[in-house]
Structure 1
Amino acid sequence: MKILKVALFLALGGLGTQAFADSGHSTTGADKTPVESYVYGTSLDIKKIIAISDIPNECAPVAAQMTYEDSQGQRHILQYQVMGTGCSNG
């Protein structure tokens, strides 16, 4: 039973990483924007939000990403944790 839970966790974790894969096809490696992880207290310079990932329908903390431009016009991708939308308490 424990092995089944571990296998399910690994399978779902593998699907989650695919959700954040870039769907666009880049011809050069220079177009890749590094993903920054948010930690409490991170100072953000957000001028324009370009995209926010969909939140999975799970009742657990899940990873989300936001793509934005700062006041200098630089593009950033920020990864952070949010609570999934699958919890309902009435």
Structure 2
Amino acid sequence: MPRAQDAKWATNLAAARQYHTREGHLRVPRKHIECLGSEAGPSGRQDGTDRVVEVKLGMWLDNVRRRAAKLPEQRRAELDALGIRW
């Protein structure tokens, strides 16, 4: 299960980085959904389809804040680098 959790964290973090790059902050509305992959151009997949991943970013960040004390230091540091408001 840790591998799946690591992949999920990486996807959510990528969405947070994308939002931060575009908006300049991480004050994400709780209901905000961030789409990953739609602006990346051609996917390079053999079937030619583009895969868009929808991340419930606002809800994820809210949940992360609630369990901040239990987060590993590396994950806290990754969010700190984006200027998260704990």
TM over 0.5, yes or no? no
What TM-score comes out, normalization by structure 1 length?
A: 0.33
Query: Whose Rg is larger?
Result: 1
Larger helix proportion, structure 1 or 2?
2
What TM-score comes out, normalization by structure 2 length?
A: 0.35
Higher relative contact order (CA 8 A, sep 6+): 2
